[in-house]
Structure 1
Amino acid sequence: MGGVLTALALLAAFAVVPALWARAGAPFVGAYAATLLAACLATLAAGLFARQPIVVAPALGINVWLAYGVIYPLGVAWQEALAACFIAALLVLLTVTTPLRRIFLASMPRAIAEAARGGVGLLVVFTGLQMGKLVVGSPLTVTMLGSLSEPAAFVALAGLAVSLAFWAMGVRAAAFWGVLSAVLLALFEGFLVLPEAPFLLPEGLDRTAFALDFAHLAELSGVVLALWLFLFFDTCGTFAALGEAEEVHGLAEKRTLLVLAAGNVVASLLGAGPVTLAKESAAARAVGARTPLAACAAAAVLLLVLFLEPVAAAVLDFSAILAPLLIFSGCLLLRELRLDWQQTSEHVAFFAVLLVTPLSSSLVAGLGAGMIVYVFLEVFSGRGKKIHPVLFFFAGAFSLYFAYYTP
Structure 2
Amino acid sequence: MDRCVRWWNSEAGGAVRAGLVTALCMSAGLVLVSEVAAEAGAYAPAVYVIAAALAALGTLALGRLRLAVALGPDLMTAGWLMALLVISHGLTLGQLYALLVVVALFACAAAFTGAAARIVQTVPLCIRQALPLALGTMMVLWGLERGRMLLASPVHLVMLGDYADPLAYFSLLGIVLILGLRALGVRQAVGCGLVITAALSFIEGFWIIPPAPFYAPEGLDRSIGLFLLAGEGDAKALATMVAVAPWLFLLMILNFWGTWQALGVNVDAQPRKPLRVAALANLLAALCGMTPMTAAPESALAGEAGRAHPRAYAASTAAGLLLLLCAAPLAKELASFPAMLVPCIVVAGLFLIARTQLAWAAFDLAERTAAIALVVLVPLTYDMALGCSVATVAYVLLKVLADRAQDVTRTMRGLAAFTVLIVFFDAWLF
Give the TM-score of the pair, scaled to structure 2: 0.76
Counterpart amino acid of 1:222?
W
Residue of structure 2 in register with 1:251 after alignment:
none
Structure 1 pair 296–268 and aligned structure 2 pair: CA distance change class (3 A): same
1:328-352 CA deviation, whole Å, 9 max, x = no partner? 3433443443333222211111101
**Number of positions where the alignment pairs a residue of Structure 1 with one of Structure 2:** 393
After the TM superposition, which residues 3-402 of structure 1 pair with which residues of structure 2 at under 5 Å, given as runs?
4-26=16-38, 27-46=43-62, 50=64, 52=65, 54=67, 57-59=70-72, 63-67=74-78, 71-72=82-83, 79=93, 89-116=104-131, 118-168=133-183, 177-211=192-226, 216-220=240-244, 221-235=246-260, 241-243=264-266, 245-247=268-270, 255=273, 257-270=275-288, 271=290, 273-276=292-295, 278-279=299-300, 283-284=304-305, 289=309, 295-296=314-315, 299-341=318-360, 342-344=362-364, 345-402=366-423
Structure 1 pair 120–92 and aligned structure 2 pair: CA distance change class (3 A): farther
SS of the equivalent of 2:70 reads strand
1:106-154 CA deviation, whole Å, 9 max, x = no partner? 4221322444554344333323222221112334323211121112211
Structure 1 pair 375–126 and aligned structure 2 pair: CA distance change class (3 A): same
CA contact (8 A) 2:254 2:385 kept: no
Structure 1 pair 124–349 and aligned structure 2 pair: CA distance change class (3 A): same
Structure 1 pair 219–184 and aligned structure 2 pair: CA distance change class (3 A): farther
Q: Distance in 2 between matches of 1:118 and 1:68?
A: 24
Q: Distance in 1 between matches of 2:368 and 2:54?
A: 38
Q: CA RMSD in A?
A: 3.7
Counterpart amino acid of 2:76?
W
Counterpart amino acid of 2:350?
C
Counterpart amino acid of 1:159?
G
Q: Distance in 1 between matches of 2:125 and 2:282?
A: 24
Structure 1 pair 25–389 and aligned structure 2 pair: CA distance change class (3 A): same
Q: Distance in 1 between matches of 2:225 and 2:17?
A: 32
Q: Distance in 2 between matches of 1:297 and 1:156?
A: 25
Q: Distance in 2 between matches of 1:28 and 1:182?
A: 29
CA contact (8 A) 2:210 2:329 kept: yes
Structure 1 pair 294–9 and aligned structure 2 pair: CA distance change class (3 A): closer
Give the TM-score of the pair, scaled to structure 1: 0.79
Counterpart amino acid of 2:77?
L
CA contact (8 A) 2:33 2:75 kept: no
Counterpart amino acid of 2:268?
A
**Which has the higher Rg, Structure 1 or Structure 2?**
2
CA contact (8 A) 2:374 2:391 kept: yes
CA contact (8 A) 2:104 2:249 kept: no
CA contact (8 A) 2:76 2:383 kept: yes
Q: Distance in 2 between matches of 1:186 and 1:301?
A: 22
CA contact (8 A) 2:285 2:291 kept: yes
Q: Distance in 2 between matches of 1:81 and 1:117?
A: 32
Structure 1 pair 202–4 and aligned structure 2 pair: CA distance change class (3 A): farther
Q: Which runs of 5 or more structure 2 residues have no equivalent in the other structure? A: 1-11, 231-236
Q: Distance in 1 between matches of 2:139 and 2:300?
A: 16
Q: Distance in 1 between matches of 2:102 and 2:181?
A: 39
1:66, distance to aligned residue in structure 2 (A): 2.2
CA contact (8 A) 2:22 2:302 kept: no
Q: Distance in 2 between matches of 1:56 and 1:165?
A: 26
Counterpart amino acid of 1:162?
L
Q: Distance in 2 between matches of 1:223 and 1:21?
A: 18
CA contact (8 A) 1:42 1:56 kept: no
CA contact (8 A) 1:30 1:208 kept: yes
CA contact (8 A) 2:258 2:385 kept: no
Q: Which runs of 5 or more structure 1 residues have no equivalent in the other structure? A: 249-253
Q: Identical aligned pairs, as a percentage?
A: 25
Q: Distance in 1 between matches of 2:32 and 2:284?
A: 19
Structure 1 pair 175–397 and aligned structure 2 pair: CA distance change class (3 A): farther
1:375, distance to aligned residue in structure 2 (A): 1.0
Q: Distance in 2 between matches of 1:104 and 1:120?
A: 20
Counterpart amino acid of 2:357?
R
CA contact (8 A) 2:45 2:218 kept: yes
Moved more, 170-179 or 125-134: 170-179
